Amino acid sequence: MATDATKPEGPDFEQGIDAGELKDGEMIAGRVGGEAVLLARCGRNVFAVGGTCTHYGGQLAQGILDGTTVRCPLHHAHFDLESGEALSAPALRSLPCWNVEQKGNRLRVTTIRAGRPTANPPTEALRSIVIVGGGAAGHAAAETLRSRGYRGQLTMLSADTDAPCDRPNLSKDYLAGTAPEDWIPLRPPEFFGDNRIDLVLGARVTSLDVASRRAVIEGGRTYAFDALLLATGAEPVRLTIPGADLPLVHYLRTLADARAIIAKLAATRRVVVVGSGFIGLEVAASLRARDIAVDVVGPEAIPLEHALGPDLGRFVRATHEEHGVTFHLGQTVTTIERDAVVLANGKRLAADLVVVGIGVRPRVDIAQRAGLAVDDGILVDEYLATNVAGIFAAGDVARCPDPRAPRPIRVEHWVVAERQGQIAARNMLGERVPCRFPPFFWSQHYDVQISQVGHAERGDQSEVKGTMQGRSFVVAFRGSGKIHAVATVGRDQQCLRAEVALERQDDEALAAIVT
Ligand SMILES: Cc1cc2nc3c(=O)[nH]c(=O)nc-3n(C[C@H](O)[C@H](O)[C@H](O)COP(=O)(O)OP(=O)(O)OC[C@H]3O[C@@H](n4cnc5c(N)ncnc54)[C@H](O)[C@@H]3O)c2cc1C
Ligand code: FES
């Protein structure tokens, strides 16, 4: 995965800084040799850790401190300042740590030091763990099992033909042609062998035998488990109209899907995107970056209104129109032809390629057949345990209680899937970690990143503070007098502070952040 390779700026911490420059609760970005380093003071302690986030290279000094952790401004990874440990996805790798000394009034960063190792919980009871799914949740769970000291057999069965990949990038830089393919794997191939993770690709689990604790894959091979994680994600909803099977029609979920689209782009001048949700619009932005003409067809009057409210939806539409996208809203597609798409109003849009993004459905079939409790998602408790002992579920497929929501929610966000995978892994090992973090997602449209924390309920009123034209604003989603979620553009720190307030269920602090 890519990280920011720009030369670090700021004071040379080997030379030192005046100790008074670093106040309690503050951070300073600087450098040691050629490396970016973050210096942070938390009470009596001063910490020095790597200054760039191990996810996409976000500048941690632009994030926030919370106790002895730092949160990244871009996609809200959390790092422990004492150990450098990546505590919360999307960052999976730790930060380097340095020693700091104070002599007189001078603070200096000295030698690199080892991070504190994670305490190993007892794991003797489990000899074999099987993870079904090689996506965000499954991969994060596998890493966590090993980093928390699990030493038994660990098998990841994935229907994908590629190793776990950075799925969000597939509709963004990778599709736009600005991210090379070697940025896409979450880990290099040797990672799995080095960590004794038996990654089996192209392995679709067809059934689970709950009584004898076995997972069966296509072809009949079985895998015994003491504990199992279902992380089967979601699959794109397919069009069923005439022409839906024509070769110009594509969906985007896997790296193989993305490769298939990209392979056709050299001969593509016009694309019709069916669906004006997040994936459809990110695809539109990436194809415009390649100078391909894009029409977007969607049934709603304002794109993304159901998710982001009318004001932010209109903002997103205007951003796309500024970049040359043509919208056909309040419309559905009735027929696809060899070189065109026909709309319900009779209009015919020429197309060399059609990309369909009309939503996803949780992949619950094997859980359902095995008799697990399912209701538009696999039902889990706050420890991500299903109704069958030893079987857990995480990610897009899981429906989980949220302390801030009136009923269990199922979320389709990358960071949520990874964090749930991490929590499920710890609970498989016998820790009792409740899943209570507020959902977070981001979406990228050209140079505009939308970030959102919390879970807006249908019917919530959205209220905008700040300047949309200046691309610096906050949107609060409010219902029954409470703020349920906060979306931001150009206000990363506010979004992080809202995350902390939501975690603590501190309504007053949350209201103060969005005023
Ligand atoms: C193109 C794209 C862009 C996105 N961009 C963003 C974004 O910007 N921000 C954001 O928050 N979210 C984004 N998302 C959503 C995010 O990727 C998902 O929420 C996340 O991947 C869910 O993780 P998961 O592990 O639950 O499922 P997945 O990542 O889909 O993984 C599911 C895994 O299960 C496997 N599987 C399924 N059935 C079986 C079976 N029967 N046997 C074996 N294996 C099986 C699949 O092959 C796959 O490996 C995007 C999604 C896509 C497709
Ligand atoms: S760059 Fe830090 S979380 Fe993504």
Q: Answer yes or no: is the C-beta of 63 below 6 A from any ligand 2 atom.
A: no
Final residue belonging to a domain, choices 301, 328, 358: 358
What six digits make up the tokens of 251?
């969906």
Q: Which of 451, 309, 325 is nearest to 317 (CA)?
A: 325
Tell me what pLDDT residue 94 has. Answer: 96
Cα(174) to centroid(ligand 2), Å: 17
How far apart CA 72 and CA 429 sit, in angstroms, is 28
Q: Answer yes or no: is the C-beta of 233 below 6 A from any ligand 1 atom.
A: yes
Say whether 60 sits in a helix, a strand or coil: helix
Nearest CA to ligand 2 atom 3: 75
How far apart CA 453 and CA 496 sit, in angstroms, is 8
From the CA of 201, the nearest ligand is 1
From the CA of 168, the nearest ligand is 1
Please state the atom number of ligand 2 nearest to the C-alpha of residue 72. 2
Assigned domain for 8 exists? no
95 and 160 both lie in a single domain: no
Cα(169) to centroid(ligand 2), Å: 13
* CA-derived radius of gyration, the chain: 24
* Close Cβ partners of 64 (under 8 Å, ≥ 6 residues apart): 70, 71, 73, 493, 496, 497, 500
* Close Cβ partners of 312 (under 8 Å, ≥ 6 residues apart): 304, 450, 462, 464, 475, 487
Could you give the number of structural domains in the chain? 4
Instruction: Give yes or no for a contact between 374 and 359, defined as CB atoms under 8 angstroms apart.
Output: no
From the CA of 79, the nearest ligand is 2
Assigned domain for 11 exists? no
30 and 91 both lie in a single domain: yes
How far apart CA 504 and CA 437 sit, in angstroms, is 9
Assigned domain for 55 exists? yes
Cα(332) to centroid(ligand 2), Å: 36
135 and 231 both lie in a single domain: yes
Assigned domain for 435 exists? no
Q: Answer yes or no: is the C-beta of 93 below 6 A from any ligand 2 atom.
A: no
Domain CATH number, residue 166: 3.50.50.60
Q: Which of 320, 332, 395, 319 is nearest to 358 (CA)?
A: 332
What six digits make up the tokens of 499?
């995350």
Residue-range definition of the domain harbouring residue 452: 447-514
35 and 93 both lie in a single domain: yes
How far apart CA 133 and CA 232 sit, in angstroms, is 5
Residue from 6, 38, 52, 55 whose mutation best tests the ligand 2 pocket (most atoms within 8 A of CB): 55
What six digits make up the tokens of 206?
């067809």
List the beta bridge partners of residue 38.
Answer: 29, 49
Cα(45) to centroid(ligand 1), Å: 40
Instruction: Give yes or no for a contact between 28 and 10, defined as CB atoms under 8 angstroms apart.
Output: yes
Cα(49) to centroid(ligand 2), Å: 15
Assigned domain for 502 exists? yes
Nearest CA to ligand 1 atom 20: 414
How far apart CA 420 and CA 214 sit, in angstroms, is 23
Assigned domain for 10 exists? no
Cα(414) to centroid(ligand 1), Å: 7
Assigned domain for 1 exists? no
345 and 256 both lie in a single domain: yes
- What does each C-alpha distance from 161 to 200, 203, 255, 263 come to in angstroms? 9, 8, 9, 17
Domain CATH number, residue 508: 3.30.390.30
Assigned domain for 240 exists? no
Final residue belonging to a domain, choices 80, 113, 146: 113
How far apart CA 65 and CA 181 sit, in angstroms, is 34
253 and 354 both lie in a single domain: yes
Cα(75) to centroid(ligand 2), Å: 5
Please state the atom number of ligand 2 nearest to the C-alpha of residue 63. 2
How far apart CA 276 and CA 330 sit, in angstroms, is 11
Q: Answer yes or no: is the C-beta of 366 below 6 A from any ligand 1 atom.
A: yes
Q: Answer yes or no: is the C-beta of 501 below 6 A from any ligand 2 atom.
A: no
Q: Answer yes or no: is the C-beta of 53 below 6 A from any ligand 2 atom.
A: yes
Instruction: Give yes or no for a contact between 45 and 39, defined as CB atoms under 8 angstroms apart.
Output: no
Kind and range of the H or E run holding 502: helix 492-503
Tens of pLDDT, residue by residue, the chain (515 residues)? 444 456 888 999 999 999 999 999 999 999 999 999 999 999 999 999 999 999 999 999 999 999 999 999 999 999 999 999 999 999 999 999 999 999 999 999 999 998 765 556 556 679 999 999 999 999 999 999 999 999 999 999 999 999 999 999 999 999 999 999 999 999 999 999 999 999 999 999 999 999 999 999 999 999 999 999 999 999 999 999 999 999 999 999 999 999 999 999 999 999 999 999 999 999 999 999 999 999 999 999 999 999 999 999 999 999 999 999 999 999 999 999 999 999 999 999 999 999 999 999 999 999 999 999 999 999 999 999 999 999 999 999 999 999 999 999 999 999 999 999 999 999 999 999 999 999 999 999 999 999 999 999 888 999 999 999 999 999 999 998 899 999 999 999 999 999 999 999 999 999 999 98
Final residue belonging to a domain, choices 54, 85, 113: 113
333 and 365 both lie in a single domain: no
From the CA of 355, the nearest ligand is 1
* Close Cβ partners of 166 (under 8 Å, ≥ 6 residues apart): 1, 183, 184, 185, 186
Tell me what pLDDT residue 45 has. Answer: 94
Cα(6) to centroid(ligand 2), Å: 15
From first CA to last CA, the distance across the chain in angstroms is 37
330 and 344 both lie in a single domain: yes
352 and 205 both lie in a single domain: no
- What does each C-alpha distance from 379 to 65, 230, 401, 408 come to in angstroms? 34, 11, 9, 8
Please state the atom number of ligand 1 nearest to the C-alpha of residue 411. 19
How far apart CA 185 and CA 488 sit, in angstroms, is 29
Phi then psi for residue 263, to 5 deg, are: -60, -25
Cα(413) to centroid(ligand 1), Å: 9
Instruction: Give yes or no for a contact between 303 and 331, defined as CB atoms under 8 angstroms apart.
Output: no
Tell me what pLDDT residue 121 has. Answer: 57
227 and 370 both lie in a single domain: yes
Q: Answer yes or no: is the C-beta of 56 below 6 A from any ligand 2 atom.
A: yes
Answering whether pTM is above 0.95, one says yes
Q: Which of 364, 328, 370, 374 is nearest to 349 (CA)?
A: 328
Tell me what pLDDT residue 3 has. Answer: 46
Q: Exposed, middle or buried by CB within 10 Å (0-12, 13-18, 19+), for 512?
A: exposed
How far apart CA 414 and CA 167 sit, in angstroms, is 8
62 and 152 both lie in a single domain: no
Q: Which of 176, 173, 171, 443 is nearest to 287 (CA)?
A: 176
- The residue whose two tokens read 């979406």 is 443
262 and 345 both lie in a single domain: yes
From the CA of 232, the nearest ligand is 1
Residue from 4, 54, 60, 75 whose mutation best tests the ligand 2 pocket (most atoms within 8 A of CB): 75
